[in-house]
Amino acid sequence: MSQHNLSQATTAILSSLLMDVKNGNIRRCESLGMSLEEIRALSQLSLDELHYLSQSHVSVLDVSLNHENFWLMLNQARNEQKRMLMIDRALELGGSMELIDKYFGLSPSEVSARRRLMGIESRQGRTQSLTEPQDSALWIEWKAAGLSSPDSHQALEAMMLAAEQHGLSLTAVWSRVCQWCRETTPTPTRKSESQQRKEA
């Protein structure tokens, strides 16, 4: 980092700290290791003094990069970007509030706000019904995906792809897949009295 950019960064940080102190918050200053005497001096800086500090070639801050945190935050930012793109795609395909809540944890108000920003009108009424050919095609694609549950993001990706390919509402696809999975999941049966006696 050049000396000019470093002094600019110093000024930005000092200005931010000064605003915190003016608002009665000294914790950020303390977290940087500033003593109470230094915090008092900072709070009394005039604009001219702050300007002088910004022009100084001597930096009062040591700037270093925490490499582990950098990559951690970068990966988190990328994952969040992927998540937001997936949410937008699901909404564009007609994902209901219930669906968005299940997979992404967004509240109804957050879903409504996101729809407004994207210019998507909320759909009222019953979920789209699938025709027999659509139902058959969807069943083939779902089985080909090799998934036994609709609950993962991998399953959601498969359902969104099917909705796009066949021009279907994502909510309709999701409802049908959930129905199939419920029907194919065995329900626990009660043991007969003879079995219970044998185990006893």
Helices (H), the chain: 3-22, 27-31, 36-43, 47-55, 67-92, 97-104, 108-118, 132-145, 153-166, 170-184, 193-199
At residue 128 the predicted structure's pLDDT band, cuts being 50, 70 and 90, is: confident
pLDDT digits (tens, 9 = 90+) for 146-179: 999 999 999 999 999 999 999 999 999 999 999 9
The whole-angstrom separation of Cα 94 and Cα 166 is 13
Q: Measured between alpha carbons, how far is 113 from 120 in angstroms, rounded to an integer?
A: 10
CA distance 180 to 189: 20
Token digits of residue 122? 């909320």
**DSSP letter, residue 200:** -
Model pTM score: 0.67
**What pLDDT, in 10s, does the model give residues 88-99?**
999 999 999 999
- Cα–Cα distance list, 100 to 6, 76, 168, 173 (Å): 44, 20, 17, 14
Query: Looking at the predicted structure, is the pLDDT value of residue 192 above 60?
Result: no
Task: State which amino acid sits at residue 37.
Answer: E
Give the number of residues written for the chain.
200
**Residue 42 to residues 3, 25, 167: CA-CA distances in angstroms?**
22, 13, 62
pLDDT digits (tens, 9 = 90+) for 59-118: 777 777 789 999 999 999 999 999 999 999 999 999 999 999 999 999 999 999 999 999
The whole-chain average pLDDT of the chain stands at 85
pLDDT at 143 over 50: yes
- Residue (of 47, 2, 40) closest to 22 by Cα position: 40
